[in-house]
Amino acid sequence: MSKAAFVRARIEPTLKTVAEHVLNELGITPTQAITMLYKKIAREHEWPLELKIPNAKTRRALKETDQGIGLVKCKNVDDLFDKLGI
């Protein structure tokens, strides 16, 4: 590699720790991961991850979930299956 440019980003500490643990398990450094992301963006001229704005139905469901509306609590997997009827 000739000259190296620096990329700086602020990221939530827990996210950084967890992501770096996963990358380590994959044998990839954070620098390699960022380089792969940038190369894919440069090659394809688009964001490589699927981004979607939730539709009205999904936004409503997310809001209801945040408010605890319609949630079913289960004690364990068997309880879940019973409530699902399976």
Domain range list for the chain: 9-51, 52-86
Count CA atoms within 13 Å of residue 25 on its CB side: 5
Per-residue confidence (pLDDT) for residue 52, from 0 to 100? 81
pTM for the complete prediction? 0.56
Q: What is the pLDDT of residue 1?
A: 55
3-state SS assignment for residue 81: helix
For the stretch 21-79, pLDDT in tens is: 999 999 999 999 999 999 999 999 999 988 788 899 999 999 999 999 989 899 999 99
Q: How far is CA 67 from the centre of its chain?
A: 22
Q: Is the pLDDT of residue 2 over 80?
A: no
Multiple choice CATH, 9-51, 3.30.2140.20, 3.40.50.2000, 1.10.1220.10, 2.40.50.100: 1.10.1220.10
In the predicted structure, residue 3 carries a pLDDT above the cut 60: yes
How far is residue 58's CA from residue 82's CA, in Å, rounded to a whole number? Answer: 26
Under a CB-based contact definition with an 8 Å cutoff, are residues 54 and 62 in contact?
A: yes
